[in-house]
Amino acid sequence: MNFKVVYKALLLFSIIAALIAGVFMTVSLLHLSGDDGLNVFHADNGEYYKLVTWIFGVCMVMYVAAIAVLSKRIDKRLDFSGVPSRIAYGAMSFATLGLFGFCIGREAFADGSYDLGNMYVVYTKEAFANVQTTKVSYLYLLFLAVLVGSFAFFTYAFFAKVGEEGTNDNFAAFSMLPSIALAVKIIYDFLLQSGHGYGALYNFHLFGLGFALMFSVYETRFRFKKAAPAPYVFFGLISALSTLIFSIPALVLFFTGKAGANWHPAFCAVDIVIVVYIYIRLFSLKVHLFERQKKEQDIAFAFEGEEEEGISAHGQSIE
């Protein structure tokens, strides 16, 4: 069995499955959406919501089975300076910079026509007893700070020549900034969902962010040379699937004018870039035809070396 082909087929299948699930979710919600945005997206209202849920569950089982077979054949090394890595880092650098610019611009142009309590803004307004007060969202300020740090990391990684042998602890520690940004974003979005009653579709968004966080953490493990390829691949595939199930209908609903003002197309666009980043990294992993191929080759080379030394020693003794 050619395990390289099996691995590539698994990645291609995951892309197709995610796109199909996203399209079904879009069709299911397109005629239900309105000015209330996500609030109408409950599981009972979606015609194909159960189908999408089944696709999600079946894919999880298939991924676990396939990765169990491939786990000992996936290389524990990852190239950090090759062309695919530079493309991935460059895409994330532009995405994080664009998202930061969007956040600052939205802060400047947000006015009373928006529900500020339901948006990503630094200053939120609350009214109590006919008195309006302004509060600062320190959690959102933290998110903006680590977002700038993530941009700095991806930009540095794009220009730096950091290969497998050149990976150092400073670079590895620096790579934790995107993980921190994802963790803060998960907390913020969870609080938004809890406070504003977002529907079941938003759960896929939270799943996508959660698995993206685990994917990012395990990528840092590659840089610390403590790789765990199997969970790395699994978290990446599930994150991509969950993210596309949410982001595809989200973008379609927004650009067709069927989502409320609380929508954030810029964040959904960045989610798509994250999915592209994940697949670039996964396609860059090396899969060996045989289990522990590298160790077997090292043993063979060592054995050949011992034979050559024995022949040389034998020749010298004759002389």
Q: Tens digits of per-residue pLDDT, 138-159?
A: 888 888 999 999 999 999 888 8
CB under 8 Å to 150, separation ≥6 — which residues?
A: 92, 96, 177, 178, 181
Rounded distance, CA 249 to CA 49, Å?
12
- pLDDT given at position 145: 92
Question: What is the mean predicted confidence (pLDDT) over 291-301?
Answer: 49
Q: Give 56's contacts (C-beta < 8 A, 6+ positions apart).
A: 21, 204, 241, 242, 245
pLDDT category at 303 given cuts 50, 70, 90 is very low
CA distances from 38 to 99, 188, 293 (A): 21, 16, 50
Amino acid 150: pLDDT: 93
> What is the model's pLDDT at position 278?
95
Residue 11 contacts residue 282 (beta carbons within 8 Å): yes
The pLDDT value given to residue 306 = 47
Q: What is the mean pLDDT of residues 250-264?
A: 69
Q: What is the pLDDT of residue 116?
A: 47
Residue 178 and residue 3: Cα distance in Å, rounded? 32
The torsion defined by the Cα of 42, 120, 271 and 228, in degrees rounded to 10, comes to -100
- What's this model's pTM, rounded to 2 decimal places? 0.82
Half-sphere exposure of 127 (CA within 13 A, CB side): 4
The listed range with the strongest mean pLDDT (38-52, 106-120, 220-234, 268-282) is 268-282
Residue 216: pLDDT over 50: yes
**Local confidence band at 276 (pLDDT 50, 70, 90 cut-offs):** very high
Looking at the chain, the whole-number percentage of residues with pLDDT higher than 70 is 71
What single-letter amino acid sits at 146? V
Output the pLDDT for position 138: 82
Please report the pLDDT score of residue 115 as a whole number. 53
Least confident of 247-251, 252-256, 284-288: 252-256
- Output the average pLDDT for the chain: 77
User: Which of 116-125, 256-265, 298-307 shows the lowest per-residue confidence on average (mean pLDDT)?
Assistant: 298-307
Provide the pLDDT for residue 179.
92
Average pLDDT rounded to a whole number, residues 237-264? 79
pLDDT score at 219: 87
Half-sphere exposure of 12 (CA within 13 A, CB side): 6
Does position 310 have pLDDT exceeding 60, yes or no? no
Distance CA 93, CA 178 (A): 11
Query: What is residue 32's three-state secondary structure?
Result: coil
The pLDDT of residue 302 is 43
Tell me whether residue 253 is exposed, middle or buried, using C-beta atoms within 10 angstroms of its C-beta: 0 to 12, 13 to 18, 19 or more. Answer: buried
Q: What is the pLDDT of residue 296?
A: 45
